Structure formats: structure tokens, C-alpha cells
Chain A
């Protein structure tokens, strides 16, 4: 158990260090989400009146597509250099390796959220509260576990760029429903209850974390 944990942390540190040295993904993702906000501004004609109802949608759209890029890239470098096979040949358990990669990809996506959330507040004037941040982070956990699993899977399949969004997006919808509701309520629009949506997010997080950790073995051990 502690051994697996150490492996996961080591793999995550490796990925984060590679990102720190190359500084590829997070700046690109940050630019991507800013561009998404600019496009949304012109697409929706956002003003102070309609911002609270439109901004949550823009937030989730930007986040979902940034997430697809982040998780897709998580296994791209390993594939290009065929280093995943080498990693899997070590006695470390595939699940621990997967957990490490998922952890790193999640942290990179959180890095992108650090840009996205303040930018949303800056451009659209919506409140940046603890409630908003908590909902986004909770959704990120579940989305990342599933996204990384499917990214690991499609990394070795033809047409992976096509397949990753097709597989991942429909299964992310529970997070977008619950997270979307929570953020809408936190931003002062929409109906429903914040605590209910958050409880649903926690439920889905637990469900997806358990299922991903069970399935990871079959996806990586191929």
C-alpha cells in the first residue's frame, strides 16, 4: 500500500517536473481558456444583466475542453517516446502508475482553473466565492479520474483525438449537471439547492474513483 503510494507520487512528480521544465501544457491551456472566454463574449453578447446565467455555462464549456486536452496530453508524451511500456515493465503496479499520471494531469488542470476562474470574474463580473471554487474542484476530481482512464485507453488506439471526446464527454455529463447547478446557484442564478448538488458531486466522485481504480488494471495492462 505505502509502496504503491510512493510509486504514484514518484510518477506524478516526474510528470510535473517534465511540465515545469518544458512549460508546455499549462500556458497553452491558460491561453486556450482565455480564448474560450473571448469567443463566448462575442457569441453571447454578455452584459452585467445576463452574465450570472451565461457565465456558468461558459465556465463548464471551457473547462471540459481544456480537460480533454490536458488528459489527452497526459499519455501523449509517453506514447511518443514509448516510455509507458518501460514504466509498466517495472515491478510497480499499473494502478499506482495510472494513479500517479492521473494525479499529475489533475493538478495541471487545476493550474488551468487557477487562470480560468479569476478570468471569468474579471471579464464577466461574476462572484468568485469559495462555493464556486469548491464545486469546480469537486467536479475536477471525478472528471479527471474518468478522463485519465479513457486517455490511457485511447492512447493506443487509432483516431485517438476523435475517440477521447466521444467516450469521455457523455460520461462527464453527471458532473456537468451537478457542478453546473452548484455553480449557477453560487453565482446567484438558476434554481435548486447548492448542498444537494454538492452531495451529488461527492457521490459521483466516489463512484467514479472506485470504478476507475478497478478498471485501470485492464486498461494499462495491455
Chain B
């Protein structure tokens, strides 16, 4: 078992602990019943997604500043992870909305801006894929990552800026009983660890992929040079 596998196993174990807290420790909500338990993971994954996209932003800025490959790889890795966590947030939210609101989807400001966030970072990954690998892809993606981050504060403050159906901030307003609050913070910590581990593993994959690409390019050059040599006459 290498260190990445160990980290992954630890992160999964932490998520199981969080799951146990959510289902066994946290009290059942008086109004919403057991559906409310979705809240813990829903909010935690949203925060992990914000964090990942912040890394994309910072990675992009650093890359544009000094062309650091490390920064670019971190941005690449975090974009995938952020997209995964946004997907989880959206799906969890829809599962909660069906019994509570009676519909999976409504064009509420927060739902809409989160969907837009998902589309933006899906576009980020598309740019990475379609642009010429190397400098061009990294630069263009950095620009998209910087613009895309504009949507993160919009998502976050949408519940205060517009009238929405989405529940407003309840953590900072101290509206939760202590057991729920403890469960939430535990779940959030575990989710952030999971996100960090995923980013690190993805970073490793990107590094290996970059190495493979470079080795391939060198090989092609080598073969090309050999073929262009004059053939010995026998």
C-alpha cells in the first residue's frame, strides 16, 4: 500500500465516521424528519467545492504570474475535484428538495447560480482538453478559472441578495442545537480532508500524465531524427 492508497483509505474511514455521526449521533429534525440529515453532507460538499475552486483561482493566478507548472497542475486537479463536489451538492440538494419543496428543481437564485458554477467548471475542463496541451491550455484555463470564480461569491450570497426559497445561513446565525452543530463541523472537516486527498491524488495523476506526454514527445523527436539520417549504403 503506497502513501496515496493509505491517504485514500484514511479519507474513506473519516467519511464513514462522519456518516455514523450523521445517522446515529445527530438528533432527528422535528419538522423535516430524517431528510434533514442530507444537510450535513450537502453544505460540507458545497464548502469543499468553493475551496477547490479557490485553489483553481489561485493556481491560475500564480501560473499567469510565473508560469509555475506546479500551480497549473494544482488548478487542474482542483477543478475536477470541485466539479465532483458541486455535482454531489446539486444531487443532494435535489434529493432534499423533492420531499420538502415537492420538486427536484426550481429556478431559485442559489440553485441557478450553482448550476451555472457547474457549467463554468465543466467548460474549464473542456478548454483544457481542446486547447493545445502545454502553455496554451494552461493560460486559457487560468483565464477561465479566474472569471469562473466570480460565480462563487454570487452562489454564496445569492440567499441574501435575492429572495430565495433556499434556506439561508443557519450555522453563523446559531440556529442549530449543539449536537447538530458538532455533527456538521465533523462532517465538514472529514469532507475537506477527502477533498484534499482527492486533489493530491489527482495532482499525482496529472504529474504522471505530464511526464508521459513529455517522454512521448521526446521519443517522437528521437525517431524523427533517426529517420532523417542518411541510410547507410551496403
Rounded to whole Å, the gap between the CB of B112 and the closest CB of chain A is: 8
Give per-residue flags for B145-162: 1 if the beta carbon is below 8 A from chain A beta carbons, else 0. 011101100100000000
Given contacts A218-B64, A218-B142, contact A157 B119 (CB under 8 A): no
Task: Evaluate contact between B127 and A167: CB separation under 8 angstroms.
Answer: yes
Q: Are B150 and A171 in contact (CB under 8 A)?
A: yes
Q: Which residues of A contact B142 (CB under 8 A)?
A: 218
Give complex CA distance A156, B142 in Å.
Answer: 16
Given the complex of chains A and B, what is the CA–CA distance between A219 and B146 in angstroms? 13
Q: Is A80 an interface residue (CB 8 A)?
A: no
- Which A residues are closer than 8 A to B by beta carbons? 146, 149, 153, 156-159, 162-163, 166-167, 169-171, 173-174, 207, 211, 215, 218-219, 222
User: Is the CB–CB distance between A157 and B64 below 8 Å?
Assistant: no
Are the C-beta atoms of A219 and B143 separated by less than 8 Å?
yes
In the complex the two chains form, is A215's CB within 8 Å of B148's CB? no
Q: Is the CB of A170 within 8 A of B132?
A: no
25 contacts between A and B (CB under 8 A): A156-B132, A157-B130, A157-B131, A157-B132, A157-B140, A158-B131, A163-B127, A166-B126, A167-B123, A167-B126, A169-B119, A170-B116, A171-B150, A171-B151, A173-B112, A173-B116, A174-B154, A211-B150, A215-B143, A215-B147, A218-B139, A218-B142, A218-B143, A219-B143, A222-B139
Residue of A nearest to B117 (CB): A170
- Give the shortest distance, in Å, between B75 (CB) and chain A (any CB): 14
Residues of B within 8 A of A222 (CB): 135-136, 139
Residue of B nearest to A217 (CB): B64
CB-defined contacts of B148 to chain A, threshold 8 Å? 171
* A169 surroundings in chain B (CB, below 8 A): 119
Pick from A159, A170, A211 the residue with the most CB of B within 10 Å: A170
* Choice from A146, A158, A173, A215 contacting B130 with Cβ under 8 Å: A158
* B120 on the A face (CB < 8 A): yes
Determine the chain A residues whose CB is within 8 A of the CB of B192 once the complex forms: none
User: Assuming the A-B contacts A219-B139, A222-B135, are A163 and B147 also in contact, with contact meaning beta carbons closer than 8 angstroms in the complex?
Assistant: no
B186 lies within 8 A of chain A by Cβ = no
Task: Find chain B residues with CB under 8 A from A156 CB.
Answer: 132, 136
Tally A-B pairs: CB < 8 A.
60
Q: Which B residues have a C-beta under 8 Å from some C-beta of A?
A: 64, 112, 116, 119-120, 122-123, 126-127, 130-132, 135-136, 139-140, 142-144, 146-148, 150-151, 154
A149: chain B residues within 8 A (beta carbon): 143
Q: Quick check: A157 and B127 within 8 Å, CB to CB?
A: yes
Given known A-B contacts A156-B136, A157-B131, A218-B64, A146 and B154 have beta carbons under 8 A apart:
no
Closest Cβ of chain B: how far from A107's Cβ, in Å?
A: 23
Residue of B nearest to A168 (CB): B123
Residues of A within 8 A of B119 (CB): 166, 169-170
Residues of A within 8 A of B132 (CB): 156-157
Q: Is the CB of A166 within 8 A of B123?
A: yes
The minimal Cβ–Cβ distance linking A35 to chain B, given in whole angstroms, is 26
Q: Are A207 and B123 in contact, CB atoms less than 8 angstroms apart?
A: no
Shortest CB-to-CB span from B25 to chain A, Å, is 39
Complex: chain B residue closest to A216, CB-CB: B143
Min Cβ gap B50→A in Å is: 17
Q: Which 10 A-B pairs give the minimum distances between C-beta atoms?
A: A170-B119, A170-B120, A166-B123, A167-B123, A157-B131, A215-B143, A170-B116, A158-B130, A153-B140, A159-B130
In the complex, are the beta carbons of B150 and A207 less than 8 A apart?
yes
In contact, A171 and B140 (Cβ under 8 angstroms): no
Distance between Cα atoms of A163 and B127 in the complex (Å): 7
Q: How far is the CB of B99 from chain A (nearest CB, A)?
A: 28
Cross-chain contact B140 with A219 (CB below 8 angstroms): yes
In Å, the complex CA distance between A158 and B139 comes to 15
- Given known pairs A156-B136, A218-B139, A222-B136, the reply for A167 and B130 (CB within 8 Å) is no
Q: Is the CB of A163 within 8 A of B126?
A: yes
